[in-house]
Structure 1
Amino acid sequence: MTSPSSIALTGFITWALLLLVLMEVIRAQLVLRGKVAANGFTPDNAALSPFMQRLARAHANCVESLPVFGGLLLVAIATGRSSITDLLAYLFLGSRVFQSLVHLASPSPAAVTIRFTAFTVQMAIGLYWAFMLLASV
């Protein structure tokens, strides 16, 4: 049986992959059009457009937080305690995707505040999951 937790974990991984694919498609086009050498990219896309820099950072944000939040989801699934994470799994995934989309859309102070709020939701959910998982051992 598929649980909301397993769907959220798969969705989180898929979202990080989609951001990476988008970045590599754009990079490939830049190389094919002769705008950037194949070896001319940095991990943070520093020499590219502001959008590409935000895309690199949005992807890095996902990859950086995947071990923490994905780990909590995986512990819940692997130990048969996904009932702890199921209730907030979709909210977590939605706030992660929303955070990335806002990151891609704008670097304005208002957007940064919105993005931080979405991340705060994820942190609160993660802390709740961690405490509940530890308390149910």
Structure 2
Amino acid sequence: MTHVSMTVLIGLVAWTLLLVIVMEVLRARLILTGAVAVTALKPDNANLSPFMQRLTRAHANCVESLPVLATLLIAALVADRAAVTDPLAPWLLAARVAQSCAHLASSGAFATNTRFAFFVVQVAIAVYWICALLAG
């Protein structure tokens, strides 16, 4: 039986991978059309469009949070405690995707506040899981 937690774990990885694939496809297009020299690319896309810079940060945010969230989901699965993580796991994934989408949409105040709200949801879920998993 596949637990919701396992599906969400794969979803978190897939979302992170999707963002990097989109970034690399867009970068490849810029190179192939001659808009940017391959040697001019910067790791943070600082010399590219604001969207590309936001995409870089959205991907980095996913990479930064993935070890923590994945560890909690894996711990629950390994300990046969997925009943702790399963109910909120889809909400965690939804908040992760929504945070990234808000990041991609804009760097304005509303988008930034929205992004932060979705981040807080993820942190709250993670803290709850830690407490619940440790409580046994």
State the TM bucket, normalised to the shorter chain: over 0.9
The amino acid across from 2:73 in the alignment is: L
- The alignment partner of 2:80 has SS state of coil
Unaligned runs of 5+ in 1: none
TM-score (norm 1): 0.97
Which residue is equivalent to 1:77?
77
Q: In 2, Cα distance between the equivalents of 1:21 and 1:46?
A: 18
What is the CA distance between 1:125 and its match in structure 2? 0.0
Q: In 2, Cα distance between the equivalents of 1:7 and 1:41?
A: 35
The amino acid across from 1:115 in the alignment is: R
Q: In 1, Cα distance between the equivalents of 2:72 and 2:78?
A: 10
- Structural RMSD (CA): 0.7
Which residue is equivalent to 2:2?
2
Which residue is equivalent to 1:100?
100
Deviations along 1:4-48, one digit per CA (max 9) or x if unpaired, are 101110000000000000000000001101111223222211000
What is the CA distance between 1:95 and its match in structure 2? 0.4
Which residue is equivalent to 2:119?
119
TM-score (norm 2): 0.98
Q: In 2, Cα distance between the equivalents of 1:37 and 1:79?
A: 50
Equivalent pairs, count: 136
Runs of 4 or more consecutive aligned structure 1 residues displaced over 2 Å after TM superposition: none
Deviations along 1:83-120, one digit per CA (max 9) or x if unpaired, are 11001000000000000001000111011001000000
Which residue is equivalent to 2:67?
67
Unaligned runs of 5+ in 2: none
